[in-house]
């Protein structure tokens, strides 16, 4: 839970004014008519100035925002590139359109739009290439001018028209892309550092690394990583084919151990020794190790005639090795290029080293969190299950927890809670709150609202005060075999009750302030008789909330999905809810406690 707020009020309603599925907008315009004005769909009138790109006789125009996404086009641009506005708006212009004279992708460091952004100057080129919608190339001349789309919001205006390369003076008909300059190399290293250190996910680092160097430096990229157990894994083998990066999973495999005495380039790189140039002849002789045999097979399978092999070093240890190879590119690697590859590999090593350190810390924190979560009690006549899932990308675990334990008098306590934060402090705060709650609830037979009121007072007196939401429920068996649920809600999402017939409703009564505010207000309490065969779900907000949708949408989706799972076994219910309801852009922990009554 990134923050906490009082959820005691009624749920808000939300109505969309604009459809993006090709249907009619509120004013009756179809989607094609909405984008005719030259502005990207999904933007409100206040997001962009009320202007329209002018139509010119032979020049196409489009506007990109500071992320490089196309936000406006004119009709001539659509005609020249052979794409409709609906296929252009919202797309990354560089990835979609910009190509070299052979149709290959252009590294962003050579993108004129990016250079215009960085320099703040208007730039012009007599010959460049766009890819049309049918895959053919459009030779064109273009001008890029930085501009202000709105106060404080930068963009760029691109004006282009078709040209005939053969009619241009000078060597324009030849390949316009020459060898990398020293400025290009420095820009590549700067982009490598900025890109690779922007994430702590190993797979994303490798994906970005390959994107940066292929096909700019090579048409093959191979990454071998040393495991924490001392083994070697060929993690990635990628080839640039027909303008795309293609993974060759058949070449990705566990590798033989690194020989200590081998002088072969890959063995030396994996031991952290300096990089080396290699070719088929390097591994043509009798192999000195099983690792050399694998390298022989790699050169045969890929057709590489030249390769640069460099160690990937972290701060504390060698992480692996980077091999860049050329098969379709005719030029062999030079010593100067090897130095560049070594520098790139060094930056990749720092990023991978940080990512591995983060993963180790995350595993420690997650292990601690799991050990703090309790074993569920066995309650006659009830079936109960629970689960905890850490945030998929958060730097550390948070303070989500569930609990269930017997109470004096034969009742059972059910708890779901969430301490604010995503770190070890949140997990430690969760442990304290959970232990205090057990002590207060087990000490004497009190109603839920009285227990939570005492807990709230104790939380504000902690050395390191925390804020938390929670639901404390008391489940009591009745003489007729019916079960009664009494609960109080401290700013937490409401419990969900699903009948055996699939009808679902939220228990939205008994709402009060979250814990730790320091405010003294009476805590309400509510009660309901649970129908036979019903399922009760207690959950944390990570199951329903995300930056991309409002809370009501998450609640509605959870209710509908849970109703459809009413006949599923209880043991699989948590996994099904996580896979079907949890938003893809969610970056929060999730805890769930589920129980089912007998029919």
**Are the folds of 53-173 and 373-596 the same?**
no
Give φ, ψ of 384 to 5 degrees: -140, 140
Comparing 101-115, 144-158, 482-496, the range with the smallest average pLDDT is 101-115
Q: How many residues does the chain have?
A: 599
Q: Cβ-count burial of 556 within 10 angstroms (0-12 exposed, 13-18 middle, 19+ buried)?
A: middle
Residue 11 has pLDDT above 60, yes or no: no
Comparing 179-193, 482-496, 525-539, the range with the smallest average pLDDT is 179-193
Comparing 4-18, 130-144, 273-287, the range with the smallest average pLDDT is 4-18
Contact 192, 348 (CB under 8 A): yes
**Paired tokens of 485:** 């649920």
* Distance, CA of 139 to CA of 105 (rounded, Å): 15
pLDDT in tens, 390-417: 776 544 566 888 999 999 888 999 999 9
Q: Which residue has the tokens 């303070």?
A: 399
pLDDT in tens, 575-594: 999 888 887 766 688 999 99
Residue 69 forms beta bridges with which residues?
A: 92
* Distance, CA of 87 to CA of 78 (rounded, Å): 9
More reliable by pLDDT, 479 or 134: 134
Residue 372 has pLDDT above 80, yes or no: no
Q: Which CATH architecture has domain 182-361?
A: 2-Layer Sandwich (3.30)
User: Which positions ≥6 away from 531 have C-beta within 8 Å?
Assistant: 499, 500, 597
3-state secondary structure of 81: helix
Rounded percentage of the chain residues whose pLDDT exceeds 70: 85
**Paired tokens of 596:** 């089912």
Q: How many CB atoms lie within 10 A of CB 299?
A: 21
Give the DSSP H or E segment for 189. helix 182-196
In this predicted structure, what is the pLDDT of residue 218? 92
Q: Which residue has the tokens 């029919």?
A: 599
More reliable by pLDDT, 243 or 286: 286
Fold of 53-173: Beta-Lactamase (3.30.450)
3-state secondary structure of 317: coil
Task: Quote the strand ranges of 283-344, DSSP E.
Answer: 306-313, 318-326
* Distance, CA of 92 to CA of 566 (rounded, Å): 43
3-state secondary structure of 456: helix
pLDDT in tens, 199-213: 888 999 999 999 889
pLDDT in tens, 24-55: 333 334 434 434 444 444 443 334 443 467 78
- State the average pLDDT for the chain: 83
Among 53, 286, 227, which Cα is nearest to 147's? 53
Q: Cβ-count burial of 167 within 10 angstroms (0-12 exposed, 13-18 middle, 19+ buried)?
A: exposed
In this predicted structure, what is the pLDDT of residue 497? 97
Q: Which CATH architecture has domain 373-596?
A: 4-Layer Sandwich (3.60)
Q: How many CB atoms lie within 10 A of CB 126?
A: 14
* Distance, CA of 39 to CA of 576 (rounded, Å): 40
More reliable by pLDDT, 325 or 215: 325
| φ/ψ bin of 444: left (φ > 0), alpha (ψ from -120 to 50), beta (otherwise) | beta
Contact 442, 435 (CB under 8 A): no
CA 443 and chain centroid, separation = 45
**Paired tokens of 243:** 């303008």
In this predicted structure, what is the pLDDT of residue 360? 78
Question: Which span out of 92-106, 175-189, 452-466 was modeled with the highest average pLDDT?
Answer: 452-466
DSSP 3-state percent helix, strand, coil across the chain (nearest 5): 30, 25, 40
Comparing 100-114, 167-181, 432-446, the range with the smallest average pLDDT is 167-181
Average pLDDT, integer, range 286-298: 92
Average pLDDT, integer, range 232-244: 90
Sign of torsion, CA 301 305 308 311? positive
pLDDT in tens, 56-97: 878 999 999 888 899 999 999 999 999 999 999 999 899 899
Among 1, 7, 2, 3, which Cα is nearest to 513's? 7
**Paired tokens of 320:** 């692996």
Sign of torsion, CA 337 338 340 344? positive
Contact 18, 522 (CB under 8 A): no
Comparing 20-34, 217-231, 320-334, 510-524, the range with the smallest average pLDDT is 20-34
* Distance, CA of 81 to CA of 350 (rounded, Å): 41
Among 341, 103, 125, which Cα is nearest to 243's? 103
3-state secondary structure of 419: strand
User: Which positions ≥6 away from 125 have C-beta within 8 Å?
Assistant: 112, 141, 142
* Distance, CA of 435 to CA of 323 (rounded, Å): 53
Give the DSSP H or E segment for 594. strand 590-596
CA 331 and chain centroid, separation = 38
Beta strand pairing call for 483-490 and 220-226: unpaired
Residue 369 has pLDDT above 70, yes or no: no
Give φ, ψ of 326 to 5 degrees: -120, 125
Q: Which residue has the tokens 């690792």?
A: 291
C-alpha radius of gyration, the chain, whole number: 31
User: Is the entire prediction scored with pTM above 0.75?
Assistant: no
DSSP secondary structure string for all residues of 247-258: E-GGG--EEPPP
Name the residue ranges covered by the structural domains of the chain.
53-173, 182-361, 373-596
Rounded percentage of the chain residues whose pLDDT exceeds 90: 50
Among 87, 73, 65, which Cα is nearest to 160's? 73
Task: Quote the strand ranges of 66-122, DSSP E.
Answer: 70-73, 98-99
Average pLDDT, integer, range 524-544: 94
**Paired tokens of 313:** 């070093």
pLDDT in tens, 149-208: 888 788 999 999 999 887 776 544 434 445 667 777 887 888 888 889 888 889 999 999
């Amino acid at each position: 839970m990134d923050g906490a707020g009082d959820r005691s009020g009624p749920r808000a309603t939300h109505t969309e004014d604009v459809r993006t599925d090709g249907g009619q907008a509120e004013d009756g315009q179809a989607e094609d008519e909405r984008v005719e004005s030259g502005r990207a769909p999904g933007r409100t009138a206040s997001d962009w100035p009320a202007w329209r790109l002018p139509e010119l006789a032979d020049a196409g125009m489009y506007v990109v925002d500071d992320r490089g996404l196309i936000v406006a086009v004119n009709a001539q641009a659509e005609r020249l590139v052979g794409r409709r506005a609906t296929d252009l708006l919202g797309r990354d212009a560089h990835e979609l359109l910009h190509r070299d004279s052979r149709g290959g992708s252009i590294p962003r460091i050579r993108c004129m739009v990016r250079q215009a952004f960085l320099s703040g100057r208007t730039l012009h080129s007599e010959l460049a290439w766009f890819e049309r919608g049918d895959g053919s190339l459009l030779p064109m001349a273009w001008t890029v001018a930085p501009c202000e789309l709105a106060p404080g919001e930068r963009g760029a205006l691109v004006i282009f028209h078709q040209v005939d390369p053969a009619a241009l003076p000078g060597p324009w008909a030849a390949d316009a892309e020459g060898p990398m300059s020293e400025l290009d190399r420095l820009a590549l290293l700067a982009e490598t550092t900025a890109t690779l250190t922007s994430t702590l996910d190993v797979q994303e680092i490798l994906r970005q690394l390959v994107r940066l160097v292929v096909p700019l430096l090579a048409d093959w990229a191979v990454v071998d990583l040393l495991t924490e157990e001392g083994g070697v894994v060929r993690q990635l083998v990628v080839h640039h084919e027909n303008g795309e990066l293609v993974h060759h999973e058949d070449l990705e495999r566990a590798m033989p151990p690194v020989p200590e005495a081998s002088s072969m380039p890959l063995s030396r790189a994996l031991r952290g020794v300096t990089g080396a140039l290699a070719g088929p002849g390097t591994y043509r002789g009798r192999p000195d190790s099983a690792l050399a045999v694998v390298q022989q097979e790699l050169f045969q399978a890929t057709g590489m005639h030249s390769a640069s092999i460099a160690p990937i070093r972290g701060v504390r240890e060698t992480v692996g090795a980077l091999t860049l190879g050329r098969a379709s590119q005719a030029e062999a690697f030079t010593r100067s290029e090897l130095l560049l590859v070594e520098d790139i590999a060094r930056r990749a090593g720092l990023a991978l080293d940080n990512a591995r350190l983060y993963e180790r810390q995350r595993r420690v924190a997650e292990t601690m969190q799991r050990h703090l979560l309790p074993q569920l009690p066995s309650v006659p006549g009830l079936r109960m299950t629970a689960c905890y899932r850490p945030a998929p990308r958060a730097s550390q675990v948070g303070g989500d927890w569930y609990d269930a334990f017997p109470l004096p008098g034969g009742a059972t306590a059910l708890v779901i809670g969430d301490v604010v934060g995503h770190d070890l402090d949140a997990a430690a705060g969760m442990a304290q709150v959970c232990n205090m709650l057990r002590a207060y609830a087990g000490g004497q037979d009190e109603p839920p609202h009285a227990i939570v009121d005492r807990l709230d007072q104790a939380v504000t007196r902690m050395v390191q005060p925390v804020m938390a939401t929670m639901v404390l429920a008391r489940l009591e068996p009745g003489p007729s075999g019916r079960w009664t649920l009494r609960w109080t809600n401290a700013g937490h999402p409401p419990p969900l009750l699903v009948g055996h017939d699939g009808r679902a409703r939220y228990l939205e009564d008994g709402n009060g302030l979250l814990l730790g505010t320091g405010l003294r207000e009476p805590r309400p309490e509510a009660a309901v008789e649970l129908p036979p065969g019903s399922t009760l779900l207690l959950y944390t907000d990570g199951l329903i909330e995300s930056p991309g949708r409002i809370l009501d949408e998450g609640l509605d989706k959870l209710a509908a999905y849970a109703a459809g799972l009413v006949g599923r076994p209880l043991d699989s219910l948590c996994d099904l809810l996580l896979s079907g309801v949890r938003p893809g852009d969610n970056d929060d922990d999730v805890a769930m406690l589920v129980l089912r009554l007998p029919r």
